[in-house]
Amino acid sequence: MLESLIDTLGMPTFVLIVVGTSLLIVVILLMSYFKVLISITNFTFPNAKIRARGNPFIKRDVLKPLAGSNNVNQIFSQIRKENYDIPKEETDDLPAIEKKLEENVIEDFKKAYMAAPTNFKPFVNTWLLKYDLKMVKRAMKGIYKERDSEHINKKLLPVKRIDEEKLEEMKSARNLQELIAILKETDMGEPLKGKEKVDDFFEIDVALDRFLFQKIRSVVNQVEGEERSTVRYFFGYYTDVLNLKIVLRGLREDIDEETLKGSLLPSGRELEDWKLENMIEANSIEEALIELEGTSYSELRDAKSSMSYFELEKKLDEKLLALVSEIHSQDILTVGPLLKFSIAKEMELRNLKILIRGVKESMDPEKMTDLMIMEGAG
């Protein structure tokens, strides 16, 4: 057949076709290689910054000795070594310490935003929105629970959209109506429309969470190039975890079925709408977990029947941390470190709060470590 083809085309033409095809293949391979190389180059500086900062307080070999030390000064010394700015004069004021830790994490995300490749700045910027919304929720929950303004204001921090000026306006609000009116000037006003007289804070909480989810999904859908599949893979499982938390919380708080179904996010990687709706229709959390059979979340079924909502939520957070740790290993030269940093920073903040509060209140070290979210946890 080859001889027939050569006879038909002629040897010179056949050679040209072979050479041309070979060159085309080489060009395609080189283009793919250069795309990977450009991606690695774009992430070299931000990944170096992230590695320098690290996430030491999600590591069992760091946290367990500190929990067992029963020495708060040693803990603060270790925290400061890892670039957390905790003034010495504040070490006796627990709320001030926790606020300072959170301020450090917010600053870390701002630095990550500055260092991120141009095409990933929207992703990091949207992740910062989580902390803006956290401040909004604190202010609203404080008013909703009729706590005094001083108690609320002590827990509020400027982030990005909620800057110093907006924060001062929020602090002046005397009720939900005034606070929502202040927030109408921001993009957070939209999900709060009509929420001034809600009977349950769950509705406000979910409205803001859905708003955040839509923002994250929007920037995830804009990711192009070599990182596209990795980011979408991460986001699929992240969505699953968020939906499971909504369902479990709704069942725990006895939210009516229709409200809870209306609170669900679009389906993620494994958990389709019908499966989540079946969970909502269950008579108990234990019964709902049966619906997870055949998914990678089925391990929650093996949890002790006495396991609380908070323990189940912790297991979901551990699963999320394991996911980004795996992605970090597989995509260590590109988007892996940034995705892990985004999740691990939140876990680290939680662990540090537990560690400091636990030692100050003489909590059992074993109980402390059980409450923490660590890499390699079962």
Which pLDDT belongs to residue 8? Answer: 55
Q: Are residues 106 and 184 in the same domain?
A: yes
Residue 183 has pLDDT above 70, yes or no: yes
Residues 109, 35, single domain; the answer is: no
Categorize the per-residue pLDDT at 204 as very low, low, confident or very high, splitting at 50, 70 and 90: confident
- pLDDT band of residue 72 (cuts 50, 70, 90) is confident
In whole angstroms, give the CA distance from residue 350 to residue 357.
11
Q: Kindly state whether residue 80 falls inside one of the protein's structural domains.
A: no
Confidence of residue 17 (pLDDT cuts 50, 70, 90): low
Given a cut of 60, is residue 93 above it in pLDDT?
yes
pLDDT of 21 reads: 60
Domains held by the chain: number: 2
Same-domain status, 49 and 135 = no
Would residue 196 count as lying in a domain?
yes
pLDDT at 28 over 60: no
Last residue of a domain, one of 172, 188, 220: 220
In Å, how far from its chain's centre is CA 343? 4
Q: What is the 3-state secondary structure (H, E, C) of the chain?
A: CHHHHHHHHCHHHHHHHHHHHHHHHHHHHHHHHHHHHHHHHHHHHHHHHHHHHCCHHHCHHHHHHHHHHCCHHHHHHHHHHCCCCCCHHHCCCHHHHHHHHHHHHHHHHHHHHHHCCHHHHHHHHHHHHHHHHHHHHHHHHHHHCCCCHHHHHCCCCCCCCCCHHHHHHHHCCCCHHHHHHHHCCCHHHHHHCCCCCCCCHHHHHHHHHHHHHHHHHHHHHCCCHHHHHHHHHHHHHHHHHHHHHHHHHHHHCCCCHHHHHHHCCCCCCCCCHHHHHHHHCCCCHHHHHHHHCCCCCHHHHHCCCCCCHHHHHHHHHHHHHHHHHHHHHHCCCCCHHHHHHHHHHHHHHHHHHHHHHHHHCCCCHHHHHHHCCCCCCC
pLDDT higher than threshold 60 for residue 36 = no
Q: Compute how many other C-beta atoms are within 10 angstroms of the C-beta atom of residue 44.
A: 12
Distance, CA of 274 to CA of 255 (rounded, Å)? 18
**319 against 14, higher pLDDT:** 319
Whole-number average pLDDT of the chain: 85
Residue count of the chain, please give it. 378
Residues 101, 47 within the same domain:
no
The reply to whether 314 falls in a domain is: no
pLDDT, one tens digit per residue, over 122-180 is 999 999 999 999 999 988 888 877 777 777 788 899 999 899 999 999 888 888 888 88
Of 188, 204, 220, the residue at which a domain comes to its end is: 220
Q: What is the structure's pLDDT at 159?
A: 93
Residues 26 and 140 in one domain: no
What's the pLDDT at 52? 82
Distance CA 98, CA 86 (A): 10
Domain that holds residue 195: 96-220
Q: Write down which residue in 194, 220, 246 finishes a domain.
A: 220
Q: Are 167 and 135 in contact (CB under 8 A)?
A: yes
pLDDT score, position 9: 46
Report how far residue 121's alpha carbon sits from residue 127's, in angstroms, rounded to the nearest whole number. 10
Q: Cα separation of 353 and 373, whole Å? A: 12
In this structure, the number of other CB atoms found within 10 A of the CB of residue 272 comes to 11
> What is the share, in percent, of the chain residues with pLDDT greater than 70?
87
Residue 136 lies in a domain: yes
Q: Read off φ and ψ for residue 236, nearest 5 degrees.
A: -60, -45
Q: What are phi and psi of 130, to 5 degrees?
A: -55, -40
- Kindly state whether residues 49 and 102 are assigned to the same domain: no
Q: Is residue 251 part of a domain?
A: no
| pLDDT score, position 7 | 53
Residue 335 lies inside a defined structural domain of this protein: no
User: For the residues 245-267, what does the mean pLDDT come to?
Assistant: 92
For the CA atoms of 326, 64, 306, 256, the dihedral, rounded to the nearest 10 degrees, stands at: -60
Residue 181 lies in a domain: yes
In the predicted model, is pLDDT for residue 23 greater than 60? Answer: no
Residues 214 and 105 in one domain: yes
Same domain, 208 and 102: yes
pLDDT the model gives residue 33: 40
More confident residue, 8 or 186: 186
List, for residues 288-342, the tens digit of each pLDDT value.
999 999 999 998 876 655 567 788 999 999 999 999 999 999 999 889 999 999 9
Report d(CA 156, CA 114) in Å as an integer: 24
Supply the pLDDT for residue 27: 46
pLDDT at 85 (0 to 100)? 85
Question: What residue type is assigned to position 22 of the chain?
Answer: S
Rg value, the chain, Cα? 25
Closest CA to 215 of 130, 112, 105, 157: 130
Same domain assignment for residues 100 and 211: yes
The residue among 299 and 348 whose pLDDT is bigger is: 348
pLDDT of residue 39: 64
Q: Give the mean pLDDT of 248-268.
A: 92
Question: Is 162 part of a structural domain of the chain?
Answer: yes
Whether the pLDDT of residue 10 is over 70: the answer is: no
Residue 177: predicted pLDDT: 87
296 close to 320: Cβ distance less than 8 angstroms:
no
